[in-house]
């Protein structure tokens, strides 16, 4: 059993925003989320110019200064990559220490079958995680393969959302063979099957899903249980059709996310200010839609 189970300590009326997508990339034992080659390649791809492995303590202080809550997570891709990631359990325990500003998501390796399902229950029941992060390309799985359906059933039972990477990934970008990472696993159309078969599962498609943005917009429009987060790209590079949809038919389905630390939250917000967004849409994108996804009554 864990010593400290996460419970919300956030004043959701007082905060200005919720960043639905941030990465904790190192733990107290010095383990990184990915191997050194992938870490270097992603830093080059994103041109972040920032510290790539801030501690969770540093992240809590940074977001507290900005009056923003942040969803924090890592990705367990042990089976596909052979690399043991930083500790998911430590993220949840540390988030409990900074629960005025941080919200922990868990991560499990789908290729571990029944062990992954057992871990879902443990992370929710013992550690209090508020959702789960998946990266199909990193984790090497097709989300709509029915062998993973018992895993989604466990997440539905826990009544928490699942956030899936979609589209292009900076992980492996520029390396021979992309370091073996296959982009097709992150085609959002694979999630359309999951959304249809699990209508009670709240799904967030992470990032503008280049090169499948039109499909992504269609899925979010068609499936009431599917949302889009805007992380992973500077807003100045957002596809025009996604900006148009966020301003209109998807105003209740799009969420603020940065992808910190590969894209700094200040950089993301500065670039977002240059978009022609309707004023009435901004509170939805920056906070209200995330509260809906997280199941927070307001």
Residue 16 lies in a domain: no
pLDDT of residue 1: 43
Is residue 276 one of the residues assigned to a domain? yes
Residue 145: its pLDDT value, please?
Answer: 98
Q: Is residue 9 part of a domain?
A: no
Residue 187 inside a domain? The answer is: yes
**pLDDT value for 174:** 82
- β pairing state of 254-255 and 226-229: parallel
Domain harbouring 171, CATH code = 3.20.20.140
Q: What is the pLDDT along the chain (298 residues), one digit of tens a residue?
A: 456 899 999 999 999 999 999 999 865 556 555 555 555 655 565 555 546 578 899 999 999 999 999 999 999 999 998 878 889 999 999 999 999 999 999 999 999 999 999 999 999 999 999 999 999 999 999 999 999 999 999 999 999 999 999 999 887 778 889 888 999 999 999 999 999 999 999 999 999 999 999 999 999 999 999 999 999 999 999 999 999 999 999 999 999 999 999 999 999 999 999 999 999 999 999 999 999 999 998 6
In a domain, 233, yes or no: yes
Helix axes 149-158, 114-125, angle to 10 degrees: 10
**Tokens (6 digits) for 181:** 């990472």
Q: For residue 3, tell me if it sits in a domain.
A: no
Q: Residue 66 has what pLDDT?
A: 98
Does residue 55 lie within any of the structural domains? yes
Distance from C-alpha of 255 to C-alpha of 245, rounded to nearest angstrom:
12
Q: Is residue 138 part of a domain?
A: yes
- Residue 76 has phi, psi (to 5 degrees) of -95, 100
Question: What pTM, to 2 d.p., does this model score?
Answer: 0.94
Q: How far apart are CA 42 and CA 76, in angstroms?
A: 17
Give the structural domain span for 238: 23-294
**Overall domain count for the chain:** 1
């Amino acid at each position: 059993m864990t010593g400290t189970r996460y419970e919300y300590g956030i004043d959701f009326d007082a905060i200005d925003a919720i960043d639905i997508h941030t990465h904790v990339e190192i733990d107290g034992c010095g383990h990184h989320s990915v191997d050194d080659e992938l870490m270097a390649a992603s830093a080059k791809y994103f041109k972040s110019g920032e510290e790539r492995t801030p501690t969770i303590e540093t992240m809590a202080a940074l977001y507290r200064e900005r009056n923003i809550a942040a969803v924090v997570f890592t990705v367990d891709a042990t089976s596909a990559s052979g690399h043991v990631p930083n500790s998911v359990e430590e993220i949840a325990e540390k988030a409990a220490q900074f629960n005025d500003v941080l919200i922990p998501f868990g991560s499990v390796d789908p290729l571990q079958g029944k062990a992954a399902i057992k871990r879902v229950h443990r992370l929710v029941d013992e550690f209090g995680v508020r959702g789960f992060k998946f990266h199909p390309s990193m984790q090497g799985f097709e989300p709509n393969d029915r062998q993973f359906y018992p895993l989604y059933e466990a997440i539905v039972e826990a009544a928490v959302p699942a956030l899936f990477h979609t589209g292009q990934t900076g992980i492996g970008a520029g390396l021979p063979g992309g370091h073996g990472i296959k982009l097709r696993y992150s085609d959002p159309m694979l999630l359309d099957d999951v959304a249809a078969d699990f209508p009670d599962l709240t799904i967030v498609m992470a990032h503008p899903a280049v090169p499948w943005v039109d499909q992504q917009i269609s899925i979010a429009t068609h499936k009431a249980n599917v949302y889009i987060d805007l992380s992973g790209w500077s807003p100045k590079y957002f596809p025009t059709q996604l900006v148009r949809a966020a301003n209109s038919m998807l105003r209740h389905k799009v969420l603020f996310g940065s992808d910190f630390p590969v894209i700094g939250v200040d950089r993301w917000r500065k670039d977002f200010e240059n978009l022609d967004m309707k004023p009435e849409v901004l509170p939805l994108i920056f906070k209200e839609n995330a509260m809906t996804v997280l199941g927070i009554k307001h």
